[in-house]
Structure 1
Amino acid sequence: MEYKTAKRMECLPFSGIRAVMEKANKMQQAGEKIIHLEIGRPDFDTPEKIKKAANGSLAAGHVFYTSNYGIPKLREAIAKWENENHGTDYEASEVLVTVGVGEATFASMDAFLDPGDEILVPNPVWLNYIHVPSALGAVPVTYSLKEENDYQIDFEEMESRITDKTKMIVVVNPSNPTGGVFSRETLEKLSEIAIRHDLLVIADEIYSQLVYDGTEHVSIASLPGMKERTITLGGFSKAYSMTGWRLGYLCAPVGIIQACVRVHQYTVTCASSFVQEAAITALTDCADDVEAMRQEYQRRKDYVVKALNEIDGISCNNPHGAFYIFVNIKSLGMTSMEVAEYLLENAKIALVPGSAFGSEGEGYLRISYACSYEELQEACARIKKAVEELKNK
């Protein structure tokens, strides 16, 4: 029989990141030695204390449904952690535990966006923020983040995109894919715009613990007048190296939580019970583990930024957050997809073309330095050789 998918599925292309990963994996299975710099997945094991807590929870029989909202102790721990680290004043009742930040993203948009509503989204950005609202019948309207502005917001451009249909603004801080971190001044100006136009803000802060060079991370919900209109997204995948555990959360006023939980209860019911138990240990007893990983990311970043900027024909700024570097390859005279394919075929390095993150990503490649220092050394040497060969053709 012919299967006719819903028309809205036309708005949901397959992930460009996963497409690169699939091709790289096939080459690897065929015997090629591929260095994977395409996936935003920490190479560290989950800290032992977290795994032990999960095992203890399973052994204690904590294998049943929890409240849709999450277990009370975890909600309390999340609120406390956010308040102590981000200067907010959340209560446990203002926390919803989700199945990763991906589900938190969907729930927060599905709860508030009607067909025809407009949502301001960074460009470039993790493309869930483009395709989820599109699938819901809403209209993503992009605002540019440019290298020459150190990936800060051009507020004249942003305000020009606001109409009477604009309902939400997305902020990803630190950024995937650029690694940029918004300054306090930028977030204060953004707050003024959100308040003046009465807009909700989705603030994706999954990388908030991974900032470098003494950079300050500012949570927009901590600024005057913003908690009431902000949905803060956080999670455990990146800082705690828990990608496969699939646990995230959103913090917001109770009225927003009540709207989001209705989506949540009809899609996933609740996050895994024993994973929630382990997450309490992550928040309360693993700060040293996170700091050790952050310091190693800093070391890797410093090396790769220096090495790439020594290669004639490519360059990059010095990102202050996440674990990504956005590499400028415009002088090579090829599209980002062409360069990514060239490096995969000739240097055996898997990178993501910047075009996978939106139009402003064209002319760039995203490197994830969430792999070993030794692999990064080898990768930079391969990139140097491949770019030199390309330029001499």
Structure 2
Amino acid sequence: MTRSRPARLHHIAGIGVDRMGSIADASGKDFLRLENLDTDILPDPEAIARTVHAATEDADNSYLPFIGQARLRDIAARHVSAISGVSYSGERNCVISAGGLSGILNVLLATIEVGDEVIVTDPTYAGLINRVRLAGGVPRFVPFSFEPGGEWRLDRTALRASIGPKTTAMLLMSPSMPSGGCLDAADWAVVAELCVAHDLLLIVDTAMERLVFDSRPVLHPAGLPGMAERTITVGSSAKELRMIGWRVGWIVAPDAFMPDLVAVSLANVVVPVGIGQDAVATALENSATTLAPYVDELQARRDCVLEELRGLPVGVPGGGWSLLLRVSDFGLDGAAMSERLLEQGVCATAMAGWGETHGGQYIRFVYANEPTRRLRALGARVRAALGL
């Protein structure tokens, strides 16, 4: 059979994580597993127990309700309301998705016309960039920047300059993946100013919203002037609740967007498995008290990696699960560094396709899946791979 590749796939980039994970799994070696956004920190025990019980319940072995179970929708809407300061209703303003990235794609399909430009940061997770392209959008990259050993900062001047006649939306994440760059209050104020002035939609990926370090406040832009009517929030059980395998997400949006969001949701996967939904509701409700020790552990792991890589050109993450090392300073690209690290017992992912300004010249280290006692082996291995 002769066929051409669909045009929508022409610019879809691989993310590299699958290849690196397969190499590590097949090797039988005890690699430092820093390649994938997994974590070894277990979910809320109460949520695990609820999942086990749900597997025996007829009501949970169901597609219904098609927009998600009522308790989860209510808790997700209240959660977003509490952080943003905007009043949302689970019944009117929330639909459940099969994971956060499925939710992002559903939002894009429901709001973006073919050819519309969507502003994203540089770097940004390739999976988000790919979903913009699958929906027919064109990503416009606005760089984060850093000085070695310093934090990533949003280039606000570039953000202002990025808006053109075809720009209709921004898709932003803070802490951003993979850099861990955080938008501060002044950044969000500029975002809000531009969205209102240019009548732009703001899609906020809150998968790591509360995983912030160094006593940073948790900030959500929907409560800023003029933003409640134009902000759609997508959340996920994966990172904040450590329930990656449950594949449960939520979309919280103003009333006007809901008919189209529901229509797309019903045409694309519908909902995640019923046995996971109420467990996620339990974990999300409990997270007001269970989150702090987890964030403390993540910060300890970040600090350990930063100490191991002291003196190397690393961008300091303000939150999240990962950080980036700029290996181009040593005449390498991320792909070459990834191969060298395998020889040193470290599995890490190159960043080609994750940005324009910040892409192939970086390697990413995920610190969420290894304890500090093992991360203390990282510095010597990285330096050996760099030939230092």
Return the TM-score normalized by structure 1.
0.92
Indicate whether 1:372 and 2:376 are aligned: no
Q: 2:100 — aligned with what?
A: 101
Aligned positions of 1:111-122 closer than 5 A: 111-122=110-121
Q: Please state how far the C-alpha of 1:3 moved relative to its aligned partner.
A: 5.2
Q: Please state how far the C-alpha of 1:8 moved relative to its aligned partner.
A: 2.0
Indicate whether 1:45 and 2:46 are aligned: no
Q: 2:77 — aligned with what?
A: 79
Contact 1:44 1:241 in 2 (8 A): yes
Q: Please state how far the C-alpha of 1:201 moved relative to its aligned partner.
A: 0.8
Q: 2:208 — aligned with what?
A: 207
Give the alignment partner of residue 357 of structure 1, picking from 354, 358, 364. 354
Aligned equivalents of 1:205, 1:211: Cα separation in 2: 12
Q: Please state how far the C-alpha of 1:262 moved relative to its aligned partner.
A: 1.1
Indicate whether 1:382 and 2:381 are aligned: yes
Q: Residue by residue, what CA displacement relative to the aligned partner does 1:78-100 show, whole Å, maximum 9, x if unpaired? A: 11122223433222111111111
Deviates more, 1:249-258 or 1:56-65: 56-65
Q: Secondary structure at the match of 1:233?
A: strand
Q: Please state how far the C-alpha of 1:156 moved relative to its aligned partner.
A: 2.2
Q: Residue by residue, what CA displacement relative to the aligned partner does 1:155-196 show, whole Å, maximum 9, x if unpaired? A: 322222211111111111111011111101110111000100
Q: Please state how far the C-alpha of 1:286 moved relative to its aligned partner.
A: 4.1
- The aligned amino acid for 2:81 is N
Contact 1:11 1:135 in 2 (8 A): no
Q: Secondary structure at the match of 2:55?
A: helix
- The aligned amino acid for 1:200 is L
Q: 2:21 — aligned with what?
A: 21
Q: Please state how far the C-alpha of 1:2 moved relative to its aligned partner.
A: 4.0
Q: Please state how far the C-alpha of 1:272 moved relative to its aligned partner.
A: 1.7
Contact 1:305 1:317 in 2 (8 A): no
Q: 1:329 — aligned with what?
A: 327
Q: 1:138 — aligned with what?
A: 137
Q: 1:152 — aligned with what?
A: 153
Paired residue total: 382
Measured on the aligned residues, the alpha-carbon RMSD in Å equals 1.8
Contact 1:16 1:356 in 2 (8 A): no
- The aligned amino acid for 1:230 is T
Aligned equivalents of 1:255, 1:270: Cα separation in 2: 21
Q: Secondary structure at the match of 1:108?
A: helix
Q: 1:138 to 1:85 in 2, by over 3 A?
A: closer
Aligned equivalents of 2:189, 2:238: Cα separation in 1: 28
Deviates more, 1:4-13 or 1:331-340: 4-13
Q: 1:61 — aligned with what?
A: 58
Contact 1:181 1:217 in 2 (8 A): no
Give the alignment partner of residue 317 of structure 1, picking from 302, 315, 320. 315
Deviates more, 1:32-41 or 1:133-142: 133-142
- The aligned amino acid for 2:122 is N
Aligned equivalents of 2:83, 2:260: Cα separation in 1: 26
Aligned equivalents of 1:60, 1:139: Cα separation in 2: 44
Q: 2:189 — aligned with what?
A: 188
The alignment-based identity, stated in percent, is 25
- The aligned amino acid for 1:10 is H
Which is helix-richer, 1 or 2? 1
Q: Secondary structure at the match of 2:8?
A: helix
Indicate whether 1:277 and 2:278 are aligned: yes
Q: Please state how far the C-alpha of 1:226 moved relative to its aligned partner.
A: 0.8
Q: Secondary structure at the match of 2:235?
A: strand
Aligned positions of 1:214-225 closer than 5 A: 214-225=215-226
Aligned equivalents of 1:157, 1:285: Cα separation in 2: 39
Q: 2:227 — aligned with what?
A: 226
Aligned equivalents of 2:4, 2:327: Cα separation in 1: 40
Q: Please state how far the C-alpha of 1:50 moved relative to its aligned partner.
A: 0.3
Aligned equivalents of 2:231, 2:22: Cα separation in 1: 36
Aligned equivalents of 1:283, 1:147: Cα separation in 2: 33
Indicate whether 1:253 and 2:254 are aligned: yes
Aligned positions of 1:229-308 closer than 5 A: 229-308=230-309
Aligned positions of 1:156-175 closer than 5 A: 156-175=157-176
Deviates more, 1:173-182 or 1:324-333: 324-333
